């Protein structure tokens, strides 16, 4: 079945685990993107209870975003919500040719994500093996995408800015 591709509504969609980054890196990143770069940023600020399914409005926000930033923090893989977001982000990235930028934060190394070691060893228990398999595949794929580690927020934002150019424009310009 073919579906109509809707134009992006958001320049950037940020996937994150709130307890790890909300009051630290995320607030700086959001400010940087919105105020310095003038981008329309979508970040979901709701804390969902364990086991809640990803909402249709959030799936649509992912579909309608031009670029995805995924912040892999120590507790990211504890959340079925975050992992479902990641699967959808990678599907949209592949389907529409959109850029996915992984950020490895809080001591998380790309190898932890790729090999599901460290805080990424134990994924949440869910009812379907297929869902867990899709999470593992998405984690492995995203670790292989060129991104950056953020040891210090200011350094991390400086590194991230190389992915964007033309600060006066509201269009995403990606330097590959």
Q: What is the pLDDT of residues 17-32, one digit of tens each?
A: 989 987 778 888 888 8
**Backbone φ/ψ region at 152: left (φ over 0), alpha (ψ -120 to 50), beta:** beta
Tens digit of pLDDT for each residue in 10-66? 899 999 998 998 777 888 888 888 887 788 888 876 544 444 566 888 888 999 999
Superfamily of domain 10-163: Toll/interleukin-1 receptor homology (TIR) domain (3.40.50.10140)
Long-range CB pairs of 51-54 (<8 Å, 24+ gap) are 51/80, 52/81, 53/84, 54/81, 54/84, 54/85, 54/88
Which residues are 103's β-sheet partners?
71, 148
Distances (CA, A) of 132 to 69, 70, 94, 124, 169: 22, 19, 20, 8, 40
Whether the CB-CB separation of 55 and 61 falls below 8 Å is answered with no
pTM (whole model) above 0.85: no
73-97 pLDDT per residue, tens: 999 999 998 999 999 999 999 999 9
Residue located via tokens 């927020």: 153
**Active site members:** 85
């Amino acid at each position: 079945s073919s579906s109509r591709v809707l134009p992006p509504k958001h320049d950037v969609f940020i996937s994150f685990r709130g307890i790890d980054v909300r009051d630290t890196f995320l607030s700086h990143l959001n400010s940087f993107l919105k105020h310095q770069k003038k981008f329309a940023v979508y970040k979901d600020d709701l804390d969902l209870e364990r086991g809640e399914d990803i909402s249709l409005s959030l799936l649509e926000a992912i579909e309608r975003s031009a670029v995805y930033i995924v912040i892999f923090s120590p507790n990211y893989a504890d959340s079925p919500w975050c992992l479902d977001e990641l699967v959808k982000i990678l599907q949209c990235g592949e389907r529409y040719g959109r850029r996915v930028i992984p950020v490895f934060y809080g001591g998380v190394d790309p190898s932890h994500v790729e090999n599901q070691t460290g805080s990424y060893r134990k994924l949440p228990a869910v009812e379907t093996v297929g869902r867990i398999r899709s999470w593992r595949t998405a984690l492995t794929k995203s670790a292989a995408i060129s991104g950056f580690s953020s040891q210090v927020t200011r350094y991390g934002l400086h590194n991230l800015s190389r992915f964007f150019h033309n600060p006066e424009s509201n269009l995403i310009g990606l330097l590959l």
